[in-house]
Amino acid sequence: MPACLALTLELTPQIDFLPKRYFNGARLGMRYPRARFNFASKGKEKQEPSARVIAGSILSSVILLSLLAFVLFGGHRFFFGLVRAAGRSDPAELWAEQRYQDLIAEAETRLSENPMDRNALIYSGFARFYAGQELVDEEQRLEYMQAAIRNLRKALLHDRDALRGELYYVLSKAYFHTGPFYYDLSVEYMQRALDHGYEAPDAQEYLAVAYSDLGRHERAAESLKAAVAENPNDLLYFTLAETRIELEQPAEAEQAFERVLELSDDPYLLQQAQLRLAELLIEESRYDEALEQVEQVLASNEDSAHAYYLRGRLHLAQNDRERARAQWREAVRLDPQHTEALRSLQNN
C-alpha cells in the first residue's frame, strides 16, 4: 500500500455476535385435565371465554400484525444484514494488508445493499485502481481503471471533505492509466488534489507527462521543475530536456541532458541522452563536442544506427560527402527503416 494513502475510514461496526437461545433438555410432562373425557350436558349453557383466552387471542393478533409490518417495511433486511455482518471482514484490515481482491469483494457486498455507501465506494475505487496496476492484461487493466473511476466519482457526490484530496489524486491517476484521451481529466483532478492540500510525491510527474502529451509544454516544464526539485532522477531530467527542446530552449535542454549523464546508470537512457545532446550540439555547430558524444555511444553500442547517422551529419558539415554517405549506408544497414538516413542518402 502506498504510504501516501493510509486510509482511516469509519465503517459500520462489525457485529460478531448474535443472541442465542438455550433450551432445557428435560422433556415436558404432558398432563391432561381430569375432565378430559367428560362431555358437557346438552342442557348446560355455553360458557363465556375466560380473560386468559381473550388476552391470548389479542397477543397473537399483535404478534401477527408485528410480523407482517416487519416484512412489509424491510425489518427482515435489517435483521439479516446483521447476521451477514457477523461473518464479514474489516475493510480497513484488508486495505492495510493490501488484499485488494478481498477488499473489492467486501466493498461490492456492501454496495449491493447500499449503492451509495461512501466508504464502500472509496474502498472499492482505491482497491480496483491498485489491483489494476498490477495486471498484465491491458484490456483487464482498463476494466479495473474504469470501475475505479465510476466508484470514485460516485463517492465525490457525497458532500464531505474527508479524503477528498486523496479521492482526486487516485481518480487522476486512474484517468491517466485509462489512456491519452483522458489526460485532460487526469490533469484536472490532479490539480484539484493539489488545491485540497494533497501533495503526493509523484503528482508533478503525472502532471508533467500529461501536459507534455497535451502539447502544453510550458506547464509540463513547470511541473517537471517541481518534480526534479523534490525527486531529482535521470528519467525526470531526460523528460525535462525534451520539454525544453519543444520550447526551443537549447541551453536549458543541454543542462538537463548533462544532469542525466551525471545521475543515470541505465545504459539505454544514457545512450539516448548522449544522442539527443549530440543533435543539440550539431545544431549549434559545436561539432567536436557532438562527435565526442557520438563516439561514446558507438564505443558502448556499435549497432546504434542513429549514431552512424549523426556521424554522417558531422562529416557532411565538414564537406566530406563520401564519408557522410558511407555512415548513412551503415545506418540503413542496421535499421532499414531509419527515415533520416534514407532521406540523407536521397538528397546527398
Domain ranges of the chain: 266-348
In three-state secondary structure terms, 169 is helix
Does CATH place domain 266-348 in 3.40.50.300? no
pLDDT given at position 91: 84
- How far apart CA 254 and CA 284 sit, in angstroms, is 11
3-state class percentages of the chain: helix first, strand second, coil last, to nearest 5: 70, 0, 30
Q: Is 206 exposed, middle or buried (0-12, 13-18, 19+ CB in 10 A)?
A: buried
Residue 254 neighbours by CB under 8 Å, 6+ apart? 241, 277, 280, 281
pLDDT for the residue numbered 170: 96
Q: Looking at residue 9, what is its pLDDT?
A: 53
Three-class SS of residue 182?
helix
Three-state DSSP class for residue 283: helix
Q: Mean pLDDT in each 10-residue stretch from start to end of the chain (348 residues)?
A: 52 33 32 36 50 61 58 48 54 89 92 92 95 92 96 93 92 95 96 93 91 91 91 90 92 95 94 96 95 96 96 95 95 95 93
Whole-model pTM above 0.85?
no
Looking at residue 73, what is its pLDDT? 55
Distance CA 274, CA 253 (A): 12
